[in-house]
Structure 1
């Protein structure tokens, strides 16, 4: 127990609490049954990511996250969340009430992603500018990326998948910061990645809104009720 508290003191209380806040907000956003509440926690996660970038000494990335994530993407998700019929009630979790072959395919795809991410981390870990053992935020990035991959494979609802896509991107960018460090060049490259991810999110949000307008909420899929033709 003493060693545990000494490790926390070595990391820095603020960074440890920030890493825990990132993981908790990401997990609630990814797996909360209430869709609107999950969207609110995405806003909380974006705010925590802004502080995390600042804590890592990357003011440009903190500014980009503040504008793109907290200022633009978060409100879009909140608007979409409130649009869905029945959003005020709890959404059921995926109960896998589908053929076992489809369940097996989903599980295998998720495992394949986990293996690829693990192999990539193992390959570059020796060249990381910052050791994960020295920065809890980098460990949080690993947990966030893995959780987002699992959520993307689990959920059928398109808005939930778009949320998972954004959370996954944040985890990956955090790991890239660990590999490349906080130099101006690294910040510029990750900023470009944040901009591209934001554009993809906006395109996904527009497509979801158009599907909702043309075909109704049934076209988007719903956790607990298999979407016709879904894998």
Structure 2
């Protein structure tokens, strides 16, 4: 029974990581938005597995329905507002820039995991015994790397959401899923949702004022288009 539970948690952790990578690095914006919705649903399952049903409900409502749905709606609204806005991010950065960001992401992930393991040995949920908590370290690192790498504003906002979800999962590993910890994480999820909503509204206003160029400033991109 214990082995089956470990396999189930490991499978859930792997699925979360696969969806995160697909969401953050898929250049098809609509597909990335739907992957974000799927990621939020899997996060709800993860919270349920960690005996936090209240957080599971909050994640499904705020993370999947409102935040993920908000991204899908924003993409459709921006497309109708300006037909020139593509649903595919074609910006390019050179390989040296990508490798630098990738190596920094790996280094950050290793340092973060080591710091948690040795500086916080009394975590409520062990980093090595719980694959979901271990996956939170990778989710945070990948989210930070994607936020630094991407130039498209919607993709950067997605990375911000994924990064926040990883942080909340990491907090659960540190503090557990007691009612007080769930209340604290719930406040964080609500603040993240409000931040995402504000970001979507700001992006929409930028598009109204500057057009599709506001979504991706080519002059800020590293390297030249391929």
Q: TM-score range by the shorter chain?
A: 0.7 to 0.9
Residue of 162, 166, 174 corresponding to 1:171: 166
> How far 1:59 sits from its partner (Å)?
1.0
Once residues 96 and 228 of structure 1 are traced to their aligned partners in structure 2, the CA distance between those partners, rounded to angstroms, is 9
For 1:158, the equivalent position in structure 2 comes to 153
Contact 1:94 1:155 in 2 (8 A): no
Kindly provide the CA deviation profile for residues 44-63 of structure 1, in whole angstroms up to 9, marking residues without a partner as x.
00000011100000011111
Where do 1:212-223 residues align within 5 Å? 212-221=207-216
Residue in structure 2 matched with residue 4 of structure 1 by the alignment: none
SS in 1 for 2:174: helix
Give runs of aligned pairs for residues 63-78 of structure 1, distance below 5 A.
63-78=57-72
The question of whether the paired residues in 1 share the 8 Å contact of 2:89 and 2:152 is answered with no
Distance in 2 (CA, whole Å) between partners of 1:153 and 1:113 is 15
Equivalent position SS for 1:129: coil
CA 1:123–1:197 in structure 2 vs 1: closer, same or farther (change >3 Å)? Answer: farther
TM-score, length basis structure 2 = 0.84
Q: CA deviation at 1:79?
A: 1.6
Alignment of 1:1-231 (within 5 A): 9=3, 12-82=6-76, 83-84=78-79, 85-87=85-87, 90-92=88-90, 94-96=92-94, 103=97, 107=101, 114=108, 117-118=112-113, 120-122=115-117, 124-221=119-216, 225-227=218-220
Report the 3-state secondary structure (helix = DSSP H, G, I; strand = E; otherwise coil) of the residue aligned with 2:121: helix
**Gapped runs of 5+ residues in structure 2?**
80-84
Question: What's the CA shift for 1:9?
Answer: 2.9
* Cα distance in 1, alignment partners of residues 163 and 29 from structure 2: 18
Q: Are the structure 2 counterparts of residues 121 and 86 from structure 1 closer, same or farther at C-alpha, using a change threshold of 3 Å? A: same
Q: 1:19 to 1:219 in 2, by over 3 A?
A: same
Superposed displacement of residue 123, structure 1: 5.3
Residue number in structure 1 paired with 2:82: none
**Match of 1:53, SS?**
helix
3-state SS of paired residue (1:130): coil
Cα root mean square deviation, aligned: 2.8
Give aligned pairs, total.
213
The answer to whether the 8 A contact 2:47-2:55 is kept is yes
